[in-house]
Structure 1
Amino acid sequence: MDRLCVFDFETVPDLAAARRLLDPAGALDDAALREALDARYARAGAAPGSAFVKAPLHRVVCIGLLMVERDDPEGPFRPARFSVRHTGDMPEAELLRRFIAGLRERPVLVGFNTRGFDLPVLRWRCMALGLPAPAVFQGDHYTRRYSPRHLDLCDLLADFGASPRPSLAEAAAVVGASAKPEGMDGLQVEGRVAAGDWAGIAAYCGSDVLALYRVFLAWAVACGGLSAADAETSAELLHDLPEANDPPLAALLGREG
């Protein structure tokens, strides 16, 4: 059986780690600390607040995933589970523990820049929180760069750096999918967390997962691993998910709840 886990993490800077790095005396309040963190990582000429902090200084606030599978290696994928969980409902350690538990079945991971960001963040957070995750630490098939068990579509579509790396929004636009809810992008996640807008964050993360799945299906067709008809069927079968009648997912699927 082919089993895939299409996933995406949403993260924000870890101010506790940032304080240990930049303000061990505790002289700065959180706002000043955040400014110091931004200044450390900002590129020359970048707008304030736009600096991308390195993976070790992130914490995970939301994980979206879509599990799909197929018995026939030449047939369509059927959805098994779609979920978006966040730290508004549970501690980060529990959020990560549940994700790690899903790796025990060894699904093929499908992501976008997940080799460069999401899985490194996961490894750092496991170290910070004391969580065992051997699948992403012990030279497993998820960590080998050219492994067919971890499909980082950003890496693959850029030919491992030979071509400029696309964004998910760019890749989604090519295949006719929408990657972001209107008026939302990654730079807003931190502010949405501060405001307690967990519904908005979940919608943003969920839309990325569904757009990524559409990109994967188009990639699989182009690679010859899936027919165009089966790709269309795979996308349509999302409506068979038990969650498809819940308003949040119904909205992401473009249907009434």
Structure 2
Amino acid sequence: MASNCKSQVQEPSRISSDMVNELPGNQAILSGQNQGNGIDTPQLMIIFDAGDLNSARQQLLPSLQDPFAPGAVATVLLQESIAEQFVGLLAHDLRPLSEAVAKNPIRVKAMAQINKLKLKVVKGTHLKPEESPLLVYDTVHSYLGDGRATGVITVDVFRTAKEAGELAKRDALLFGQVSIWNEKLACAYELVLRLPTDVFAINCFNPDLTPIKDAFTANQNEVLVEKNYHYECLELGNKRRIVVFPIGTIYAN
């Protein structure tokens, strides 16, 4: 398994943006069904150059606009080769925050710390920092607040899967789920082994965990396919994990 996870195959992607976005569970958090499996806690998103950038962007935008929502993404890791392009596209899509989010005391405190530390930020095009969703580089939430999600999304850039795993563990923030965008499952599974999280969604976001939940609770191995999703409940790295991905993801290094 190549640890740098660079694109080495020319096989065309079998997953389209429409295919990902139409899967059940991607449009909204399924209230009640996924409680206890990390859906209500902050999430981590890791995006590789072999991932579907358009689908990842569409799934990330709601978290930028409402960073205090249950299950919102708090941290994003971007592979170096696509980081600038991806963030540039995001900046054009950002809209002013709601007053409730912009004036939330937790976010106000984080903004003061960002200004004090003179951290690099990306905001919406033509928006002021105080009114815009923010991506903040090279920091962790524990530096910006009290260990909770802070109303901004932290960003780090990585080169290899190993480096991504190390960056993801810098913050004391506990992630309920990890969403990995990479068409090559061998590379994605390398991160499953490196991170302590229970639930991994590959090339999807907030999938319905109901089909695999009982197996996880009973500490049993299970593999099944339901509603265009492949589900696995298995023990990896001496820890029980749930891994979910839409049918069509490419198995490749």
Q: TM-score, normalised by structure 2?
A: 0.30
Q: Which one has more relative contact order, counting CA pairs under 8 Å at least 6 apart?
A: 2
Q: TM-score, normalised by structure 1?
A: 0.29
Rg larger in 1 or in 2?
1
Q: Which structure has the highest strand share of the two?
A: 2
